[in-house]
Structure formats: structure tokens, C-alpha cells
Amino acid sequence: MKKYGAEFFGTFWLVLGGCGSAVLGAAFPNLGIGHLGVALAFGLTVLTMAFTIGHISGCHLNPAVSFGLWAGGRFPAKELVPYIAAQVLGGIVAGGVLYLIASGKAGFELSAGFASNGYGAHSPGGYSLFAALISEVVMTMMFLIVIMGSTDKRAPQGFAPISIGLCLTLIHLISIPVTNTSVNPARSTAVALFVGDWALAQLWLFWVAPIIGGILGALIYRFLISEES
């Protein structure tokens, strides 16, 4: 149960820190952190949690990562459902806390997006469904390659949280304009449930694409890159 608790609180922190920075800080008058700040916030949540709970649960914080590590031979299938349940629940609770904070400001409206992921009219840059699909698959694929390589027993020990956190920062720098960056179904679900409407209608993409990308990235590392394949 400690592993599941770690995944719950780790994903809670990822959603609160990452989505919270987007909702509360990105456009704050005069001192807004903007695109760069939000990207860094997501990376910092993973970096801090990887050091905090990596030795307990592996610090997945993401169903796509759990599926990827399973495909990569690093995670047992029997743990997938409880890990994903803990991740999604942790994200939803964080979404609730963020809503309670954000709604305390006059003029707050969920219709502004609440850091939800989207495509077409709901893409920050107006990118199509196809562009969003490619972005989410490729970004998650690269994320898993970095995770697999950074945690390989032959890699420099103790530095994996830094490379993984910086990788997630880079992913957000690239893809926030396209989909607001998911690469994580739990993160997407956590805020989409509060927005409802279009966010829930488009949520399917942010489950399907990251999981495909995660599995693909893990398989590429396992069979084409790793010397252990």
C-alpha cells in the first residue's frame, strides 16, 4: 500500500504544481511565469518527487509511464491497475484542491480551460487532431526512452530524477502550444473532469496517444538501444 500511496501523493503534487502553475501563475499580472515557467514547474514536480518517492514506488505518476515500463520489462502487469488507479485519484484530488483555490478569485471561469488539454479549437495554437496525436505520441515516446535510459543500471547512478525532470520540461516547451501538453492521462483527467463539456469529449486522445507513445518508447529502448535486449 505504501507504493500506491506514494503514487497518489506524487501525482497529486504533479497536477497541483504543474496545472497550478498554469492556472494561477502563467498570466499573473506583471509577474506571470508564462510558457517557460509552466514547463519548468512540470519538470520540477517530477524531479522533486523522483528523489522523494522513487525508492518507494519508482515514481511513475503517469499511466503512460506505467504501461511503458511494463512493455519495457521493468514493471509487472499485476501492478498496472492499482498504480493507475492511485495516479488518477491523486490527480483528481489535486484538481479539486486547485479548483478551490482558483475559484476564490473573482471572475474565475472553468470555461477558460483550467489547464485542460485539447486540439482543434481547444488547442492553444489551433493545432489539428492529427497534429495533437503525433505530438502526444512522439513526446511520450521520447519521455520513455529517457526514463528507460536514465534508470538503466549502467547509467550514472543518482542522476535519473534530474534528466527525467528536465526531459519533461523540454517536452512542455515543445508541445504546450499544440495540446497544452499531456503526455500523462492522469494529469489530463484531473482537470478535464472539472471543465466537463469539450475537455471530456477530447479526453480520449490524451489517454490513447500517451499510452501508445509510452509503449512504443519503451519497446524502442528495450529492443533497439539497450544492450540487454
What residue segments make up the domains of the chain, in order of their start?
2-106+114-225
Q: Tell the CATH topology of 2-106+114-225.
A: Glycerol uptake facilitator protein (1.20.1080)
pLDDT band at 228; cut points 50, 70, 90: low
Q: What is the identity of the amino acid at 196?
A: G
Rounded average pLDDT over 15-41: 85
How far apart, in whole angstroms, are the C-alpha atoms of residue 164 and residue 3?
A: 20
* Residue carrying C-alpha cell 501563475: 25
pLDDT value of residue 25? 84
Determine the pLDDT at residue 179: 96
How many C-beta neighbours within 10 Å does residue 228 have? 11
Closest C-alpha among 110, 124, 123, 126 to residue 192:
110
**Over residues 204-218, mean pLDDT:** 98
- Long-range (24+ apart) CB contacts under 8 A made by 121-127 are 121/198, 122/198, 122/199, 122/202, 123/177, 123/178, 123/179, 123/180, 124/176, 124/177, 124/178, 124/179, 124/180, 125/177, 125/178, 127/177, 127/178, 127/179
Give pLDDT, residue 28.
Answer: 66
C-alpha cell at 188: 489530463
Q: For residues 163 and 135, give the distance between their C-alpha atoms in angstroms, rounded to a whole number.
A: 20
Tell me what the mean pLDDT of segment 206-214 comes to.
Answer: 98
Q: Are 26 and 115 in contact (CB under 8 A)?
A: no
Nearest CA-CA partner of 82 in 101, 97, 63:
63
Whether residue 188 contacts residue 22, with contact meaning beta carbons closer than 8 Å, is answered with no
What is the reported pLDDT for 29? 63
**pLDDT, tens only, 109-163:** 888 889 999 999 999 999 999 999 999 999 999 999 999 999 998 888 889 999 9
| pLDDT at residue 149, rounded to an integer | 94
- Please give the Cα distance from 213 to 41 (Å, whole number): 22
String of DSSP letters for 113-182: -TT----GGGSTT---HHHHHHHHHHHHHHHHHHHHHHTSTTSPTT-HHHHHHHHHHHHHHHHHHHHS--
pLDDT band at 73 (very low <50, low <70, confident <90, very high): very high
| pLDDT for 163 | 96
Whether pLDDT at 31 is above 90: no
Q: What is the pLDDT of residue 86?
A: 97
Determine the average pLDDT of the residues in 62-75. Answer: 96
